[in-house]
Amino acid sequence: MAPLIGYWNVRGNLESIILTLKQAKVSFKVRRYKLGDAPDFDKSDWLNEKYKLGLDYPNVPYYIDGDIKITQTLAILRYLARKHDLGPRNDAEAIRSDIVEQGIFEMMNSLWTATHVETDQEFEKCRPGFETYLVEKLAHTANVLGSNKFVLGDRVTYVDFLLYTTLDYIRLFKPSSIDPHANLKSYLDRIEALPEINKYYKSEGFSRFPITYEIAKWGNLEKNAPF
């Protein structure tokens, strides 16, 4: 039976998991939970199932494959990496992978923090600080990647799909933020050219938006990008 992954009906934190599964050529099913309309944003579609799935830490995204039940984005990604040889193979690679993983996830969470605010005024207040933060963090990331094809060298791993997803969201948020870094732009193209990933992005089931649901001030409609 195909693994089941559950998440909201947006790309969000699920995208890197999907890309990892696509690269591994694993068939899977997705349970997409709907969020109600404003202003209440009813979550009952998820809440009605939240405590019935046998999850230790009930949350989305989740991954269920028989008796294997995992929540938390990074825990799911690490499991898939071990299962499908898409992770580090030695201590040196593990250290590098861990550092990059945490740096990337910090950027992703900073994007969610900046955009998941209650009012447009709060968003406009947060945005300049977040954009300044991106300048530094993207420079760090470009320096770490260097001339490598992928994070760990010539071999693609789950961290690449986490990095790709984060950079993709950032360039959709502010396209010019990636422009100073030719290696990051080439890296994005390289990931999209991977046969299984290219096939996925050309499929009818894929859309760049929504990235976030309507409660966020950016990412739920294509008109939100670019600024």
Q: Which of 82, 56, 50 is nearest to 70 (CA)?
A: 56
pLDDT at residue 205 greater than cutoff 90? no
Q: To 5 degrees, how large is the angle CA 113–CA 53–CA 70?
A: 55
Q: Tell me: the pLDDT tens digits for 33-49?
A: 999 888 889 999 999 99
Q: Which residues of 106-142 are buried (b: 16+ CB within 10 A; e: fewer)?
A: ebbebbeebbbbeeeeebeebbeebbeebeebbeebb
> Token pair 């202003």 is at which residue?
39
**Alpha-carbon gap, residue 130 to 219, rounded angstroms:** 15
- CB neighbour list of residue 169: distance below 8 Å, 6 or more residues apart: 11, 108, 111, 211, 219
Taking only the tens place, the pLDDT of each residue in 99-144 is 999 999 999 999 999 999 989 999 999 999 999 999 999 999 999 9
What's residue 94's pLDDT? 98
Q: What secondary structure letter does DSSP report for 150?
A: B
pLDDT of amino acid 225: 41
Taking 90 as the threshold, does the pLDDT of residue 222 lie above it?
no
Q: What is the mean pLDDT of residues 178-203?
A: 97
Q: Could you give the domains of the chain?
A: 4-83 (1.20.1050.130), 91-224 (1.20.1050.10)
The tens digit of pLDDT for each residue in 160-175 reads 999 999 999 999 999 9
Sign (positive or negative) of CA dihedral 98, 184, 206, 200: negative
What proportion of the chain, given as a percentage, has pLDDT over 70? 97
Residue-level pLDDT at 37: 86
Alpha-helical runs (H) found in the chain = 15-23, 44-50, 73-83, 91-115, 120-145, 158-173, 182-193, 195-201
Task: Find out whether 4 and 17 touch, Cβ atoms under 8 Å.
Answer: no
Q: How far apart are CA 14 and CA 11, in angstroms?
A: 6
Decide if pLDDT at 227 tops 70.
no
pTM of structure: 0.95
pLDDT-based confidence at 214, cuts 50/70/90? confident
Average per-residue pLDDT for the chain:
95
Q: What are the two backbone dihedrals, phi and then psi, of residue 44, each rounded to the nearest 5 degrees?
A: -65, -25
